Structure 1
Amino acid sequence: MAAMLDGLDVALCVFDTEDRTLAWNRTFLRLFPEHEGHVHVGEPYADNLRRFYAGRLTAQERPQMDRYIAAGLERHRSQGQPFIFEHLGQRIQVSSLPLARLGRVRLWRVLSGPPDAPWPDATPAAGPSMEWLDQVPDGLMVCGADGVIQWCNESFLTLYGFDSRCVVRGLTLEAVYRLAWQQCGQAHDPVFREGLGTLAENMRFAGAPFELPMPRHRCFRVIARPGAQGSVFYAHVDISELKRQQRLLAEAEAAARESERQLRHKSALLEATLENMDQGVTLVNAEGVVELCNGRVSELLDLPAEVLANRPRLADMIAYQRQRGEFSDVSPEVQRYLSSPEQLQIPKVYERRLRSGRLIEVRSIAVRDGSMLRTYTDITERRHQEENIRYLASHDVLTGLLNRAMFMDRLVSEVAMARRTGIGCAVLYLDLDGFKPINDRHGHAVGDRALVWAAQRLRDVVRESDVVARLGGDEFVVLQRGLRPEDSTPALVRRLREAFGQPCHLGDLVVTLGFSVGTAACPGDAMDAEALLSQADRAMYADKARRRAGA
């Protein structure tokens, strides 16, 4: 094909889809000798254009070389009609066509005849017969071969802000363009300078449409067609609204992309948060289908992955757990709730112990769209800590016995029952004898072991229903509850003395601990808890005095 076109004096150059040179013929090098020895397969069309413009641009235009190249590339990619330009003293017509699955081919031919001969498809010269074109809404103008405006219609004057044809006749389009910007007081705008460059570049060609930026954010699309005796016919179309819509569309697309990016970011953040939460989370839609479920649910409830896969129904999850023996220890109220079809709409918080022994808090929250958010929290450790706190608040840390405050609560309750039922109770107030020398001579660690030994002896002797407490230091107290004749206080004191008569082994040290004791009975000695304890305390000191006197 290249050889055939050489025979027709038609230049050819073929480019791939990336605008890289694939092939050319001899006529191409004859019309454009600047490419001889430089063009090569794979050369970007931009490099081809750079050599082309290097010999055409003036010194003032060369700083804008990159813009000329960019515009040339755009013409190459979008050209749909032939246009004519001059090169090395010849008028050359160029066509460009896309090639399926290949790229694009460009063809050039030299137009015959003298330089001032009419161009192909010439338009009749401007004259009175063209005045009907004033009714056309687009701006129309005719320039001579020298680029000077010979005629324009009324729409052209309106577009560029002039009142009379006399103002623009005899001017070039560049001069008209400058005046339009100067009249608006915006000649300092960088957009104006860009527009001048665009105009200077595209006025070299007749046929390639271009966009011309105007003041006040307007934009004209300029289309040129060759006319008679080298004249050129120009149409100026106001595309400002189109550009505005394109700009708004681009902004909307950018905003949509940003919203999508933020949504992806938030979704990723939500997913990461859900998967790293200590709570199990499920979202159940209004139809009872589990739409969302994090991995913690499977861990807490010990559910196989296949049970949670493919968006199971909540009822199926509960049925699977029932088959494994779960929910057996929950209250009838919770059983009814789990079986109710309205559970999605009823907020509920309940606790249940799993087969593994863990204690789970289940919290259900109804969502406005009819769905339900259900969370699962392992509260085993929390309950253990709460129980430990309650224990520490009511027990002596060293001996494990009740402390004074808890003992007084038990004593108040027992005295109140004694007043109601007549069933008596008694208080034994004990103080260890010989404890202080052990503590002072052997240290607090040995003394603490002596207190623990004494507390264990008390536990071993009293009934299971009785209450033992450490009031502080080496003072202990016993509450005998529901006294019967066979549960007399003196008998308990005798058993305690027998127990304390055994050797107390404190590591390498063996000692014998005794105690002084005072007792008070309800209702015989007092009918008030504080009074009862005070009575036993006084009786203990009296016993201690007698023991010292006897010693």
Structure 2
Amino acid sequence: MKLSRYLHDSLDALGIGACEYDADMRAVGWNSTFLQFFPEDEGVIYVGEPYGDNLLRFYHGRLAPEELPDIERHVAEGVARHENQTQPFEFIHHGRRLRASSLRAPDGGRVRMWQRLDVESHAETAPELVLPLIDALPFIPDGATILDARESVLAANDAFRRLYDLPRGSPVVGRTLNEIIAWCWRGASPAGAWRAAISNGLRYDGVPFEVELPGQRWLRLIARHSTGGLSFFTHADITVAKRQQMELLEAQEALRRANAALAELAETDGLTGLANRRRFVAGLAEAVALPQPLSLMMIDVDHFKTINDRFGHLVGDACLRAIAEVVAGQVRPASALVARIGGEEFGIVLGGMRLETAHDMAIAIRRSLALMPWHTLHADLSGVTVSIGLCGGEGPLDGTNLHARADEALYVAKRNGRDRIEISSLPGAPLCIAG
């Protein structure tokens, strides 16, 4: 997405500032009027600049020193407005009242446009402007307040008092919304999270924002500014909708966790807790595609059928669990994948590991198995050994060929007497055999 120079010039002629952003919220282009409205961007904004960085510069020039600790919150809310805006809103910047609009492009990007409106004076509010608004307050079903240019309440209706649980007769006029909400939270303040929300709400006309109150209650506020520096706020209780939204999010998260658990079960061997054959095949395919050293270790338990026939399947299963624990304990790299492929066969994908290191690991596995107190599983079980086949190379590799060569080395170990390690090289390299 990129507007033509002609369209940029046309928008300049109409006095409309424009800036384009791609689907990743990075600047693509802008016109001269944009730089007139936002002189802080002159010579600083660049093609590819993240929208969040642009907002950071915008707020650094607007926020008072005491508001700067909340600048990240302001930026996050601004990014959310950029992503979700469907209606124009208004604000004042460098003395200009601007109406901001946003259009989504087919490719997912956005064009933001700013039109200058008549500048309204922030002089003392004239009584003839305030009185009609005050007269209208009782007829508004939601909470409503009128604020002066100093952001103090000039008037409020009864619905406003009820929403904020203000006792009848308690002072409202002359107080700021910050002070009223702080009173609501007396002794249980959530670190003033509402302050940044109100500060932002006072700047943008027509942009809803939320304020949390004690007892898990939420209000949605919308500000409108009028002549003479007046602000008109509506306050609506959205507690039910907010709780439903939170319940929906919690349900979605629970569903995500359940699906993740099911996916984990689908790729986990029920007996040993290791990855199963399905995960092994997928993990090997991922590993061989990477430009890195890679070793594959195949392990088979020697004479396992005899163990099952002589001592029973319960002892056989206990042997497999013990072997799985030893193997997993000796395989340290986080990038390794240890799996029970089926029956008495195990596979280990060792991403980033060369054959020499994998061979040392195979030796450690055999030593650990030799030290196992097998007699604790059955008094007549004196020991359990394994045969190991290794193969490896520098990725990317052919996974099928790598697996076949490691299996070939394993069968060589079986033929050569079992309880040993064999290494098979990929085509073009000499075969190395180690006991």
Deviation at 1:68, TM superposition (A): 1.3
8 Å Cα contact 1:210/1:223 also seen in 2: yes
Is 1:195 aligned to residue 199 of structure 2? no
CA distance in 1 between partners of 2:274 and 2:58 (Å): 62
One-letter identity of the residue aligned with 2:147:
C
Structure 1 residue ranges without an equivalent (≥5): 278-376, 384-551
Q: Which residue of 2 aligns with 1:204?
A: 203
1:67–1:154 Cα change, 3 Å = same
Is 1:186 aligned to residue 185 of structure 2? no
* TM-score normalised per structure 1: 0.45
Structure 1 segments (4+ residues) deviating >4 Å: 122-125, 270-277, 377-383
Structure 2 residue ranges without an equivalent (≥5): 1-6, 277-304, 312-435
Q: For 1:147, what is the secondary structure of its paired residue?
A: coil
Q: Which residue of 1 aligns with 2:321?
A: none
Is 1:47 aligned to residue 46 of structure 2? no
One-letter identity of the residue aligned with 1:111:
L
Deviation at 1:36, TM superposition (A): 0.6
1:380–1:104 Cα change, 3 Å = closer
Q: Which residue of 2 aligns with 1:223?
A: 222
- Following superposition of structure 1 onto structure 2, how do residues 461-500 of structure 1 map, counting pairs within 5 Å? none
CA distance in 1 between partners of 2:111 and 2:45 (Å): 16
8 Å Cα contact 1:14/1:22 also seen in 2: yes
CA distance in 2 between partners of 1:129 and 1:56 (Å): 33
CA distance in 1 between partners of 2:273 and 2:172 (Å): 71
1:233–1:12 Cα change, 3 Å = same
Q: State how many pairs are aligned.
A: 273
Q: For 2:240, what is the secondary structure of its paired residue?
A: helix
1:264–1:100 Cα change, 3 Å = closer
Q: Which residue of 1 aligns with 2:105?
A: 99
Is 1:128 aligned to residue 135 of structure 2? yes
One-letter identity of the residue aligned with 1:170:
G
One-letter identity of the residue aligned with 2:208:
P
* TM-score normalised per structure 2: 0.56
8 Å Cα contact 1:125/1:228 also seen in 2: no
Q: Which residue of 1 aligns with 2:33?
A: 27
One-letter identity of the residue aligned with 1:254:
E
Deviation at 1:114, TM superposition (A): 5.0
1:149–1:126 Cα change, 3 Å = same
Q: What is the root-mean-square deviation of aligned Cα atoms in Å?
A: 3.2
Q: Which residue of 2 aligns with 1:10?
A: 16
One-letter identity of the residue aligned with 1:186:
A
- Following superposition of structure 1 onto structure 2, how do residues 59-74 of structure 1 map, counting pairs within 5 Å? 59-74=65-80
Q: For 1:68, what is the secondary structure of its paired residue?
A: helix
8 Å Cα contact 2:209/2:221 also seen in 1: yes
One-letter identity of the residue aligned with 1:130:
L
Q: Which residue of 2 aligns with 1:147?
A: 151
Deviation at 1:35, TM superposition (A): 0.4
Paired-residue identity, %: 36
CA distance in 2 between partners of 1:18 and 1:79 (Å): 16
CA distance in 2 between partners of 1:265 and 1:380 (Å): 29
One-letter identity of the residue aligned with 1:161:
D
Q: For 1:161, what is the secondary structure of its paired residue?
A: coil
Work out which structure has the larger RCO, using CA pairs closer than 8 Å and 6 or more positions apart in sequence. Answer: 2
CA distance in 2 between partners of 1:275 and 1:222 (Å): 53
CA distance in 1 between partners of 2:308 and 2:108 (Å): 71
Deviation at 1:128, TM superposition (A): 2.2
Q: Which residue of 2 aligns with 1:268?
A: 267
Residues 96-132 of structure 1: CA distance to partner in whole angstroms, max 9, x if unpaired? 22222241111112222552499xxx99941324322
Which of these residues, 64, 70, 73, is aligned with residue 58 of structure 1? Answer: 64
Q: For 1:18, what is the secondary structure of its paired residue?
A: coil
Deviation at 1:201, TM superposition (A): 2.7
1:267–1:152 Cα change, 3 Å = same
CA distance in 2 between partners of 1:67 and 1:146 (Å): 23
Q: Which residue of 2 aligns with 1:171?
A: 175
